[in-house]
Amino acid sequence: MRPRVVIAGAGFAGLTCARALKHAPVDVLLVDRNNYHLFTPLLYQVASALLDPGEIARPVRQLIRPLENADFRQASIAGVDFVGRHLVTDRGPIHYDYLVLATGAQTDYFGNAALAEHTMGLKDLDEGLAVRNHVLSQFEASRWTDDPDRRRELLTFVVVGGGPTGVETAGAISELIRLVLRKDYRDLDINEVRVVLIEAAPHVLSAFVPSLREAAHRSLTRKGIDVMLGVKVEAVTDSSVRLAGGEEIKTRTVIWTAGVRASDLGRATGLQLERQARITVDSTLQVPGHPVVFVIGDLAGAKDETARLPMLIPVAMQAGKHVAASITDMVGDGGTRPFHYKDPGIMATIGRNSAVAQLGWIHLSGFFGWIFWLAVHLVNVISFRSRLVVLVNWAWEYIFYDRPVRLIVRARQ
């Protein structure tokens, strides 16, 4: 009987690992609570009514169809029985010979229940749709009141967190409002609309060099976004955001992108955890004391020399390939090797004609950064069909200043 490799999580890390095991003498089983793989870099475009969910997500079974040694099971993962070698799920235990934990990350509210209750995250497809529904609903609700203060409250959109997700979301919502919705709502007073980006640090995009941070800040300001730097959120309610200095912003919409931590599987395993609830691993991405268990992606507290590796897609994909090679070697009575990350660079878009890209010594901003961002993301979209549809939607929005999916859709359970 061939060894069974169970991969918990069908995100970038897990799917890359499964694909890299295509020719290995093993049977691969992917397990995930969702039946789809999500291209998370474009999730904010679902939230801002530019793309449909099917354009950034594909069924896992479709994606692994070319892999003759791979299968998929949909289940919620609850933990691991390391002694019996079972992945514990809500559908029952799954035996493994080799286990790869790759369940990704989730929004971190830092233990603040009020933040979790009164803000919206942007980490999964249902959250992206919820943001889209909510933003559009606020505009519809604003047409039913004659009170200007009430309208301003409904039409104030606060994004907390000045990292790439926050910057991209704020830029996309601002463009949705100023380029599209102002045409849909003929009596809309654009002065009553406000998009606010709040960041506790003294600058946005802290991972970038100062010149690109400043370029991003200027672009956000040009797009009419109120950028508040060095400001901490103290409390959030259904109708306001209270800042540490005492200022209060009246709003019905708060999108939280200020924190991220590993999925709850880390705590459920009982393994040693590091910052952001990431599982401690050794240099080969194996769990200390459990040589047949690997951790990759955002769940792994991997380090390169002395620095902890960032929670980024390139790290996840490179780790997936590395672990697949290690498992293949182990099946053939070989050993494992240390993981070394090769940084391809980072980038973020602020919207139409504006992005920043940091590729080693090459720094791009403005229009050229935007073109590079478009090319990289288009190439990496999940399938050829999705690339075509995304390209058409991007071109349509660019030429006609239109967002094609301004639908308020609520699924019934």
Question: Would you say domain 118-258+352-400 falls under CATH 3.50.50.100?
Answer: yes
Residues 6+ apart with CB under 8 A from 223: 171, 174, 175, 178, 350, 351, 354
Domain spans, the chain: 4-33+75-107+261-331, 118-258+352-400
Angle value at C-alpha 340, between 338 and 344, nearest 5 degrees: 165
- Rounded to two decimals, the pTM is 0.94
| 4-33+75-107+261-331 and 118-258+352-400 have identical folds | yes
- Residue 411: predicted pLDDT: 62
Residues noted as catalytic: 168
Q: For residue 232, report the phi and psi dihedrals to the nearest 5 degrees.
A: -105, 145
**Domain 4-33+75-107+261-331 is in which class?**
alpha beta
Question: Token digits for 31?
Answer: 């397990």
Residues 6+ apart with CB under 8 A from 401: 179, 180, 183
Extract the residue ranges of the chain whose pLDDT is less than 70.
382, 384, 411-413
How far is it between the farthest Cα atoms of the chain?
A: 75
- Residue 305: predicted pLDDT: 77
- Alpha-carbon distances of 301 from 106, 125, 229, rounded to whole Å: 15, 25, 29
Distance between CA atoms of residues 46 and 120, nearest Å: 14
- Residue 12: predicted pLDDT: 96
Distance between CA atoms of residues 264 and 83, nearest Å: 21
Distance between CA atoms of residues 282 and 271, nearest Å: 13
Give SS3 for 98: strand
- Residue 1: predicted pLDDT: 85
Which position has the token pair 């590993």? 262
Question: Token digits for 51?
Answer: 């793309």
Question: Residue 297: which region, alpha, beta or left (left: phi > 0; alpha: psi -120 to 50)?
Answer: left
